[in-house]
Amino acid sequence: MQRLIIEGEKRLSGEIKVQGAKNSALPLLSAALLVQGETVLHNCPRLSDVFAACRILGHLGCECRVSGNTVTVRADAPCGCCVPDELMREMRSSIAFLGAILGRTGECCLSFPGGCALGARPIDLHLEALRKMGVTVTEKHGMLRCVCPGGLKGAQIHLSFPSVGATENIILAAVLAKGTTVIGNAAKEPEIKDLARFLNLCGARIQGAGTDTVVIEGVDKLSPVEYTVMPDRVCVCTLMSAAAITGGEITVRGAAAEDIEAVIPVYEQMGCSVYTYSDRLFISRTRPLRAVDRVVTLPYPGFPTDAQAMTMAALSLAKGTSIMVETIFENRYRHVSELVRMGADIRVEGRTAVIKGVDRLYGARVEATDLRGGAALAVAALAAEGVTEIRGLRYIDRGYEKIEDQLSSLGASVRRVSE
């Protein structure tokens, strides 16, 4: 088992290039299944979830090669439509393959991605939409079998909640379907725009991605392209929280500041200066950290749920009391008890967290139980007095490419040790 050992109280400074977005790379890898020929994806982060997606593609009969940050997928003639249980369990977001497998082969069989640390994470919206597109879904023994005897057909779909995964799955199922699909109340996240941009370059006809109405006109075939995955906006937020908590000064290269417009004002209220120029985001804090009134997580363009945990870590050292409200996932405060071990004063009531700023955090043995919660522990450790030992690195490795190297390059004292 690996652990991160972080010696705190080091001010972070310097410049760093942000990694490619995990939440974009995964649907893009799934989309490659729809393309006849060789898709080349640049700027793919080297993460356990990306490697798991490659294994799923390999299992489905695609040739998948990883070289540095470039992944090449050749999907000339996929020979499978089933994702075995062990691969589904390796990566919870493997449900992203459902729409693409159906689009390419007309049938799909996979096990349920399962409950997640963040809450129940149902897939009812995905299935309801696919049924409207002509898919018959049967659920038995924890397996989901989807077939579309008459082929996928375009449909009018209104999502009761703008689910990111459901919007992506519908787009993936609709690009090669017969007729036009309209998604109402679609998710507007930048990763949806990235997926549509890629598919349109391949010959798809998708309009309105990034707005709440996405229209997809089915086409017969997609042709391969080379594409560069967008920057990871959650990693930018993580670096911002690291600068904020250590009183540091970080320039993030390759950051798309327009994708985190709801986050920047929160960090400014906390006492940080944030400037953006071209693809660079500069953040520094020279004043004391201040509490913020209320941060509410919302679907894009609201404050992202994925940035909640690390922002909370920074707020735990702010002067005053901050309120955070998590509206997206019902169980996304599992990092709180670990932050409290480090000396934070945080109380959770339902979906609300009350964070009373303390003067100091202390190094402790803590455990990551989900990806962003794990990142929050690393952020807290950067400012804590003494040494913090973080277990549960498999969660952090799902979203951060060598987090110890990223933070060390900015002056932190972080090492990974194996038992």
Q: How far is the CB of 127 from ligand UD1 (least distance, A)?
A: 7
Burial 132-148 (b: 16+ CB within 10 A, else e): bbbbebeeeeeebebbb
State which of positions 297-316 bind ligand UD1 (CB under 6 A): 305-306
**Residues 311 and 266: beta-carbon distance below 8 Å:** yes
Minimum CB separation from ligand UD1 for residue 260, in Å? 13
Using CB under 6 A as the binding rule, whether residue 121 contacts ligand UD1 is answered as yes
Site string for ligand UD1, 265-304 (x = CB under 6 A): ----------------------------------------
Residue 333, interface with ligand UD1 (CB under 6 A)?
Answer: no
User: Cis omega (within 30 of 0) on the bond before 113?
Assistant: no
Residues labelled catalytic: 116
Pick from 220, 215, 148, 211: nearest CA to 180: 215
**Which stretch in 66-74, 148-156, 157-165, 377-385 sits in contact with ligand UD1 by CB under 6 A?**
157-165
Residue 165 engages ligand UD1 in binding (rule: CB under 6 A): yes
92 φ/ψ angles, rounded to the nearest 5 degrees: -65, -30
Nearest approach in angstroms of CB 187 to ligand UD1 is 6
Please identify which residue in 124, 258, 293, 405 interacts with ligand UD1, judged by CB under 6 A. 124
Choice between 125 and 410, CB closer to ligand UD1: 125
* Cα gap 197→43, rounded to integer Å: 15
Minimum distance from CB of 419 to ligand UD1 (Å)? 29
Kind plus residue range of the DSSP H or E element containing 227: strand 226-228
φ, ψ of residue 263 in degrees (nearest 5): -90, -40
Q: Does 334 bind ligand UD1 (CB under 6 A)?
A: no
Instruction: Please identify which residue in 40, 75, 81, 125 interacts with ligand UD1, judged by CB under 6 A.
Output: 125
Closer residue to ligand UD1, CB minimum distance, 91 or 250 = 91
CB neighbourhood size of 46 (10 A): 15
Q: What torsion, rounded to 10 degrees, do the Cα atoms 119, 120, 123, 124 define?
A: -120
Structure letter (DSSP) for residue 289: P
Burial class (CB in 10 A: 0-12, 13-18, 19+), 262: middle
Among 18, 26, 73, 144, binds ligand UD1 (CB under 6 A): 26
Q: Do 283 and 311 touch, CB atoms closer than 8 A?
A: no
Task: For ligand UD1, give the closer residue by CB, 165 or 374.
Answer: 165
139 binds ligand UD1 (CB under 6 A): no
Interface with ligand UD1 (CB under 6 A), residue from 30, 72, 93, 322: 93
Q: Which residue is nearest to ligand UD1 (CB)?
A: 165
Q: Where are the alpha helices (DSSP H) in 229-286?
A: 233-246, 264-269
Smallest distance from ligand UD1 to CB 170, Å: 11
122 makes contact with ligand UD1 (CB under 6 A): yes
Q: CB of 81: closest distance to ligand UD1 in angstroms? A: 21
Q: Give the Å distances, CA to CA, from 314 to 45, 177, 237, 247.
A: 25, 46, 11, 10
- The stretch among 8-16, 123-131, 172-180, 355-363 that binds ligand UD1 (CB under 6 A) is 123-131
CB of 126 to ligand UD1, least distance (A): 5
Residue pair 334/360 in contact by the 8 Å Cβ criterion: no
Cβ partners under 8 Å of residue 211, min gap 6 = 186, 188
Q: Is 328 in the site for ligand UD1 (CB under 6 A)?
A: yes
Residues in contact with ligand UD1 by CB under 6 A are: 23, 26, 93, 119, 121-126, 161, 163-166, 187, 305-306, 328-329
